[in-house]
Amino acid sequence: MYCVKCGTALDNGNTFCAGCGADNRPSASSAISSAPATAVAERDTRPCPYCGEYILLSAIKCRFCGSMVNGGPMLAQAPGTITLNAPAPVAYPAAGALGAAAPSIVIQNVVAAQAPQRPVLVHPGIYKNPALALFLSFIFPGAGQFYNGHAGKGFLVLLTFWILGITYIWSLFDAYLSAQRINRVGF
């Protein structure tokens, strides 16, 4: 009889696995599904040399960690993982007849989500307040463009808002959005 959790061979009198401590007492629900579980446990398996999970003996790639286990290079590992191999395959005393090798160590570099930060200025010391640019452009047409350092736009708005009323409304939006772009891009 084999352990239903780890596949370790059990003595007839044992109800708990010596390797993983799983309860192997038969229950009403396990009696129904005991035939497929026994068939799976009796297959020829071996531990993956990278993660230690049990895989089929004929497996080329581990289904748990994605490593190539048949002598090939480690492909398909998740990016940012570092795999350190165990020094030597040592059989665990509790593994019994299966002789499980020591699992290797897998270290994953996990990047935790950070709180949003203030935008990084391209040119430190140059910061334009979008609300101030909007306010200046509202008070005096073209003043928001002058504040942002766009003198050509400022003169254009100042000279044309008397003739075209749409230029005044455009200057309000342009002053605000230009100040945001200056903070984000730098010009």
Quick one: pLDDT at residue 146? 95
A 10 A CB-CB count for 81 gives 16
**pLDDT more than 90, % of the chain:** 26
What residues does each domain of the chain span?
43-108, 130-184
Closest CA to 187 of 136, 117, 122: 122
Quick one: pLDDT at residue 125? 67
Q: Band the pLDDT of 64: cuts 50, 70, 90.
A: confident
**pLDDT more than 70, % of the chain:** 58
Contact 146, 159 (CB under 8 A): no
DSSP string of 45-93? Answer: EEE-TTT--EEETT-SB-TTT--B-SSS---SPPTTEEEE--SS----G
Predicted TM-score (pTM) of the model is 0.36
pLDDT tens-digit series, residues 106-153: 666 666 666 666 655 556 667 899 999 999 999 999 999 999 999 999
pLDDT tens-digit series, residues 71-119: 544 444 455 555 554 445 555 555 555 555 555 566 666 666 666 666 5
Quick one: pLDDT at residue 157? 93
